[in-house]
Amino acid sequence: MAHDPAISSSALLTRRDFVTKASRAVAAFGFPALIPSSAFGAKGAALPSERINVAVIGLGAQGAGHLLGGAWTYLPGGYVARPDVQVRAVCDVRRERRERAQRRCHEVYAGRFNQPSYRDVAAYNDFREVLARDDIDAVLLALPYHWHGPMAVMAMQAGKDVYCEKPIAITVGEAEAVVATAQRYNRIYQAGTQQRSEYGGKFRLACDLIRNGRLGQLRDVYAYRLPGAYFPRASASGPVEAVPEGWDWDLWLGPLPWRAYHRRVGGTPGDLLAGDVNWSPHHYDFLLWALNPEPTKPVEIEYDRGRVRYHFANGVRVHSDEYPGESTGGQGGACFVGTAGRLAVDRDRIVSYPARLADAPLPASAHRQALVTGHQDNFLDCVRTRRSPLCHAETAAANMTTVLAGGVVFGLQRSLRWDPAQRRFLDDATANRLLSYAPRSPWHL
């Protein structure tokens, strides 16, 4: 994946630029002579100049949940219900999804602003039209996996801050491009690995206990999930079907090689992946947070009869499997085993053996991770303040490249040595060729 062109000062969207552009947008679009009091901040709404203008791109279950409220989105009513956010655009390559989302946004805003004819949320098929708008500050991306990395890069190049669902990338090359672009364009980037901030702080507590030595010398971690990576295979079998009406199939494919439509690849084409790139980024993100491994030391990644095992330089082994005799019932999570006992955590519970390891409070002198209680709140606060979010691009890429390296090992079915500093395998050209792929024209970044 090619590097971006050198940045110029005009490419950065400063707060002053935003206010200027927002003022121009108001002048361009115009407002009715009678403006409701809510537009001036009444009824708990923020002033227009203080609202963050947002577009949601990708309106399947996850994207629609972020927009309107739903499971796994942890935001009652979604973005459209927030008084500090103005949803300006929705975008999806499937017409029925974008029209349904647009209609619901108009209903919500019509009631809030007491404007029955409210129609200021635009609906787009092509995300490039969204990125071209000067009045949009941030985008939320909830897309097919192969679009997350490329679209995040393009959004940041266009001056937008980005909240991106996992996986943030399906190749190491894409993850590197995300980091480089966020740094070059000075953009806020938050990955959707919300276990760092949600679920009543269970994962943060587990991280604090482990980092403060509650388990003694840490020996083994059971991650419950296989890592995964982009790993082209023969196309899934199935009859070629007509593309459903209102679906831009060519744009849905984007950088992937061309393939005819059929329902088995109409979601995310699993035949192009090895292992798990869906759940594993959540749980490897957490375990790396707790382990805090040396980022410059090579990692031995072992393949063993359909499972992957990481050997970190500090002596800790990470198993892509359940702790013997223990299951989380599909919730994922991790189990940490040390010389003083073990601790297991998932989204529903945190338990330890013996129980006192998790129950006894840490001393006042213990080092604790930053207290963040809302992943979306953290992102939006950082858009305003320009502080670094909890799971910024560098953190997200360190997690994702660990997952992807293990996915290559799983796909090749042989052990490899991974250099996290260089983000390359040591002495294995075949494996390194799987760290990126040639995207279909015109999607070269």
Residue-level pLDDT at 329: 59
Determine how β-strand 317-319 pairs with β-strand 307-311.
Answer: antiparallel
Q: How many CA atoms lie within 13 A of 418 on its CB side?
A: 28
pLDDT at residue 370, as a whole number: 87
Burial zone of 110 (CB within 10 Å; 0-12 exposed, 13-18 middle, 19+ buried):
middle
DSSP class per residue in 224-291:
SS--EEE---SPPP----PPPTTB-HHHHHTTSPP----GGGSS--GGGEEE-SSSHHHHHHHHHHHH
Structure tokens at 366: 């213990």
Structural Rg of the chain based on CA atoms: 23
Residues 6+ apart with CB under 8 A from 114: 36, 38
What sign does the CA torsion over 155, 160, 161, 164 have?
Answer: negative
Buried b (16+ CB within 10 A) or exposed e, 396-420: bbbbbbbbbbbbbbbbbeeebbbeb
DSSP string for residues in 115-164: -TT----EEESSHHHHHT-TT--EEEE---HHHHHHHHHHHHHTT-EEEE
How far out from the chain centre does Cα 364 lie? 33
Q: Encode 74-97: b = buried (16+ Cβ within 10 Å), e = exposed.
A: bbeebbbebebbbbbbbbbbbeeb
pLDDT of residue 232: 81
Under 8 Å between Cβ of 149 and 162: no
Profile the chain (445 residues) by mean pLDDT over runs of 10 residues.
Answer: 34 38 36 38 57 97 94 84 96 98 97 95 98 98 96 98 97 97 98 90 94 96 94 69 94 92 75 90 92 93 97 96 76 89 92 94 92 91 96 96 97 97 96 95 88
Closest CA to 423 of 57, 90, 172, 131: 172
Q: Which tokens go with 376?
A: 């979306």
Domain boundaries, the chain: 9-196
What is the C-alpha separation between 207 and 292, in angstroms, rounded?
Answer: 10
Euclidean distance between the first and final Cα of the chain, in Å? 6
Residue found under tokens 């063993």: 304
Please give the structure tokens belonging to residue 149. 């990395």
Cβ-proximal residues to 125 (8 Å cutoff; 6+ apart), any chain: 91, 92, 93, 95, 98, 248, 251
Dist. CA 24–CA 21, nearest whole Å: 5
Question: What is the C-alpha to C-alpha distance for residues 143 and 93, in angstroms, rounded to an integer?
Answer: 10
**Tokens 């799983």 appear where?**
410
- CATH classification code of 9-196: 3.40.50.720
What is the 3-state composition of the chain as percent helix, strand, coil, each rounded to the nearest 5? Answer: 35, 15, 45
At 330, the amino acid letter reads G
* Sheet architecture: strand order including 52-57: 122-124, 85-91, 52-57, 138-141, 161-164, 189-191
Q: Cα(326)–Cα(321) distance, rounded to whole angstroms?
A: 10
